[in-house]
Chain A
Amino acid sequence: MVRPLSLAQRLHLDLPLLFALLLAAGYGLLVLYSAIDQDPERLEAQLVRLGLAFTVMVVVAQVPPALWRRLAVPLYLAGVLTLVAVLLVGEIGKGAQRWLDLGVLRFQPSELLKLGVPLLLAWFLALRPLPPGAWRTLGALVLTALPAVLIARQPDLGTALLVGSAGLAVLFLAGLSWRLIAFLGVTAAALAPLLWSQMLDYQKNRVLTLFDPERDPLGTGYHIIQSQIAIGSGGVYGKGWGLGTQSHLEFLPERSTDFIFAVLGEELGLFGVLALLGLYLFIVFRGLYLASQCQDSFGRLLAGGLTLVFFVYLFVNTGMVSGLLPVVGVPLPLVSYGGTSMVTLLAGFGLIMSMYTHPGATGRGGGGRILPRW
């Protein structure tokens, strides 16, 4: 039974997942280097961020699941309370509403909740045997909706979507009954008009322009039109690395951040797109596999939930850039230029590895439940 531990096991890493992440990050860097007009300084900045993010991942993976479970409630509460604080301060200052300035450190509490919500829900649902009943489901939905609504009011629809889907992903994996899923789906459809009336003008605009980009060719429609031209003109083989006219003649807005998928499509073509999506799919499958191998329900739900959030990231971004979904501020994972969300993303993979690689650390595979009385 007892085998000597390999280096990767001792470092609490999963090598296939690690290599896939590094490969995707490297590929992303290649696309980004073109998108930022081969500016060495911004490349360096991105490299530093990637280095930091991977370091955070390794560190997070060292922390045993038992400790993460204990941190679930404090992290969630800290996130929600700072969100409330930011909303209040933001209302007074009328200015920077998403950031809480702690002097040295400036951070977005909504980032914290991208991990805090799946942690809390995995803890909450694994307290008792699965699948959850109606009341526990309702509780889980409330715990998810609270931070999601707060973030949506900032207004940061993209992050709200990610945080909300994190909660729903954990709930789904916990075995939410198909009938309830169908019921929730119908309810959501029925509530859509209400949601619509709550949306801000610019958000409504983005949805409307999805169906008819020409109605606002100077504003949000411009993004969609230009990104579709970029992707479409790339064809099967692409125009060649660094040769995208859409990107480099500045027709494509936000080409190094949220719309970088269009640069990939234009310069490296359908093959380039398939390569990236293939890598992503491998990462998702590996994540789900690791989740299913975890010792207890808490680990399984958390690892699986985080994997699905990663999928939501890439699906929403690629769907938005290719004109399937409305424009929502969600970066392309491991590729887009920018820092905080990448650190959170890789911290999430650190959590997945922690759940997988610490055998029995949560107490005899105790299912995250109170110890049985016997």
Chain B
Amino acid sequence: MAGSWFHADVDERRAFTRRAWAAAILAILLLLVVVARVAQLQVQKHQHFSTLSQDNRVRLEPLPPVRGLIYDSHGVPLATNEPSFTLTLTPYKVKNAEALFAELAAIVPIAEADLKRYERLRRQGSPYQAIPLRLHLTEVEIARLSLEGHRFPAMDIRTDLLRTYPQGPLTGHVLGYVGRIDEDELKRIDQGAYRGTDFIGKTGLEKAYEAVLHGQVGYRQVEVNAKGRVLRTLESQPPVPGKDLRLHLDIRLQRDAAAALGQRRGAVAALDPRTGGVLALVSNPGFDPNPFVEGIGTQEYAALRDDPDVPLFDRALRGQYPPGSTIKPFIALAGLESGVITPRQAKHCSGAYQLPGQSHRYRDWRRGGHGSVDLRRSIVESCDVYYYDLAHDLGIDRLGDFLGKFHFGRKTGVDLAGELGGLLPSREWKRRVRNQAWYPGETLIVGIGQGAFLATPLQLAAATAALANGGRYLEPRVAKSMEAGADQPEAIPAPGRPLGLDPSHLEDVVQAMIQVVESPRGTAKRIRSPAYRIAGKTGTAQVFTVGQKETYKEKQVAERKRDHALFVAFAPVEDPRIALAVVVENGGHGGAVAAPVARAVLDSYLLGTGPAGALGEPGEEEAEDGD
């Protein structure tokens, strides 16, 4: 046996050697083909290619497209391309860099940061490529440089179109900004399509609509001399400019909403309930996107990043707050839809609620209780006990399913980059994240919009819009249409879905929300307007948990631990044209602080009046206002 095995191996070895020789011969033959080809090019056709190379002064240059502009709903430009003049140097022509910098600095100011950026870019690029040294030359500086230009062969003055945001901090979050393409993006994008383009949308609308705004690169074949200087253009394929965007956003409303918030941290999201269009999306404080375009300085950036008010954080899109009592109209609707309650059916509120067999007292915001409470009163006075009981009867599964239809716990699908979807607690979530079973008491807390339940201002506004328009959930859209030159604008659709709600149930809830503003007992009675009718709901989101035996005393709690004030509303109730959500961080009670902001925004949109300092100092009566 051993013998035959040994012979088998010898056979295999011999067979392998034969194959290796075959492979080696094939390799030689193939290499000879390559050698023959190279020899053909280098010997036989050498003269031909040598001439071509001598004449090869035809170079392909990319013609980058002009980025599309962004206009608000009235045609006010929000993002434009402004000419900007840049002093560049071509490194291989620079003989003595230090001396050249010194000479140039005598003509125009050149900062330390300019030199650093030049060095960084020079190392990355080719020495035959012009590198920017000084940005944003003024006309006087250009004139002075032109006079001295002949002395500096390495110097050029380049005209760029620089993305500019005329509204500054007002649109920093919603529009986002463009910036230089970084290494990660370079790997992701189609490099051919971005040849000659230095900038790409980094955040917000600029990122979401990058493909639309960017356009298509063009080319031109140019003849250059032996030193690489362009002599003439032979052939060109013009670039296709990016499409302009027309937004639903109304910059005047945006400005008034920001002014209504004033110095407070917070957010306003306002939608048109008929179209899903985003009328205003404010996160306060904002930031100026303009310095980000050319690369913000380290110190300037650190100042923004370390600001305790986090101006770079988009509260409207990414701020996740407990919705508090603003969730109650939706819970009430869930109760009506599932037949757990009827509008007339009353529950008794003694100021606290206990689950059978448990000692924990779930307290109402009003210590003495509201007495006998029906659906309308539960919303008008924001009775907690009513919703503890309703949530208990519904159970977390039914509650979650219903709220999910309004996109609680998932993104609204707005056309902006970086949206967060909030958190709608569920059995599945609790098992996954905390590895624990669901407790009945947690259902009660969800019923009043507290606990782990989180929603963004945009989510609240979009859900409220669905109440306002008769039960259609519309994905919010900031952009209304795309326009390419003189062509007919191409509308951007906002996908919508009817939620299949009973109109009479919706009517019951809306009537109650009207009374929140119009009833003398309503939590937002102070914002009642003589000019139009508002439906709304106040809310207060706990930041700081109060112990079982303690009471919440606003004055004693540090400002940052105070409750967030919320308000959702739509108007006019007969034919709603605007639905909104307001969050004022650490503002205290929704009725006192957030509702006046909403009123100012509604006034601005419906009446055209500017803001008049909506946020006064917190008054005395607010303890009765809140919930």
14 CB-based A-B contacts, threshold 8 Å: A229-B52, A232-B49, A249-B226, A250-B228, A273-B42, A281-B31, A288-B23, A292-B13, A300-B16, A322-B34, A322-B38, A324-B37, A367-B5, A373-B1
Q: Give complex CA distance A236, B188 in Å.
A: 41
Instruction: Name the distance in Å between A372's Cβ and chain B's nearest Cβ.
Output: 5
Given A251-B56, A274-B35, residue A175 in contact with residue B15 (CB < 8 A):
yes
Tell me which of A95, A173, A232, A281 contacts B28 (CB under 8 A): A281
Instruction: Name the distance in Å between A308's Cβ and chain B's nearest Cβ.
Output: 6
Q: Is the CB of A129 within 8 A of B12?
A: yes
Number of A-B contacts (CB under 8 A): 160
Given A231-B41, A249-B228, A324-B33, residue A173 in contact with residue B49 (CB < 8 A):
no
Q: Does A138 contact B (CB under 8 A)?
A: no
Q: What sequence of 0s and 1s flags, for each residue 93-121 of chain A, a beta carbon within 8 Å of any chain B beta carbon?
A: 00110010000000000000000000000
Query: In the complex, which residue of chain A has the Cβ closest to the Cβ of B39?
Result: A270
Query: In the complex, which residue of chain A has the Cβ closest to the Cβ of B15?
Result: A175
Given contacts A232-B45, A248-B128, 7 further A-B contacts (CB under 8 A): A99-B187, A218-B219, A233-B49, A233-B50, A235-B50, A249-B128, A292-B17
Q: Given the complex, which residues of B lie within 8 Å of A280, measured CB to CB?
A: 31
Tell me what chain B mostly uses at the interface: helix, strand, loop, or mixed. Answer: helix
Q: Given the complex, which residues of A lie within 8 Å of B1, measured CB to CB?
A: 372-374
Q: Is the CB of A232 within 8 A of B237?
A: no
Q: Give complex CA distance A274, B28 in Å.
A: 13
Q: Does A234 contact B (CB under 8 A)?
A: yes
The 6 nearest A-B residue pairs measured at CB: A232-B49, A233-B53, A232-B41, A374-B1, A233-B49, A288-B20
Given A231-B41, A277-B35, A315-B30, residue A246 in contact with residue B13 (CB < 8 A):
no
Q: Does B117 contact A (CB under 8 A)?
A: no
Among A234-271, those with CB < 8 Å from B are 234-236, 245-246, 248-251, 265, 269-270
Tell me which of B16, B45, B56, B128 contacts A173 (CB under 8 A): B16
Q: How large is the interface on B (under 10, 10 to 19, 20 to 34, 35 or more residues)?
A: 35 or more
Q: What sequence of 0s and 1s flags, for each residue 123-162 of chain B, a beta carbon within 8 Å of any chain A beta carbon?
A: 1001110000000000000000000000000000000000
Q: Does A26 contact B (CB under 8 A)?
A: no
Query: In the complex, which residue of chain B has the Cβ closest to the Cβ of A305?
Result: B23
Q: Does A148 contact B (CB under 8 A)?
A: no
Q: Is the CB of B23 within 8 A of A172?
A: yes
Query: In the complex, which residue of chain A has the Cβ closest to the Cβ of B20?
Result: A288
Q: Given the complex, which residues of A lie within 8 Å of B228, measured CB to CB?
A: 249-250
Q: Is the CB of B2 within 8 A of A374?
A: yes
Q: Does A285 contact B (CB under 8 A)?
A: yes
Q: Given the complex, which residues of B lie within 8 Å of A274, measured CB to CB?
A: 35
Q: Is the CB of A175 within 8 A of B19?
A: yes
Q: Give complex CA distance A39, B92 in Å.
A: 12
Q: Does A230 contact B (CB under 8 A)?
A: yes
Q: Does B93 contact A (CB under 8 A)?
A: no
Q: Give complex CA distance A77, B38 in Å.
A: 41
Instruction: Name the distance in Å between A64's Cβ and chain B's nearest Cβ.
Output: 19
Instruction: Name the distance in Å between A90's Cβ and chain B's nearest Cβ.
Output: 11
Q: Does A212 contact B (CB under 8 A)?
A: no
Query: In the complex, which residue of chain B has the Cβ closest to the Cβ of A367?
Result: B9
Among A287-346, those with CB < 8 Å from B are 288-289, 291-292, 296-297, 300-301, 304, 308, 311, 315, 318-319, 322-324
Tell me which of A95, A231, A281 contacts B42 (CB under 8 A): A231
Tell me which of A95, A231, A281, A315 contacts B38 (CB under 8 A): A231
Tell me which of A222, A236, A318 contacts B46 (CB under 8 A): A236
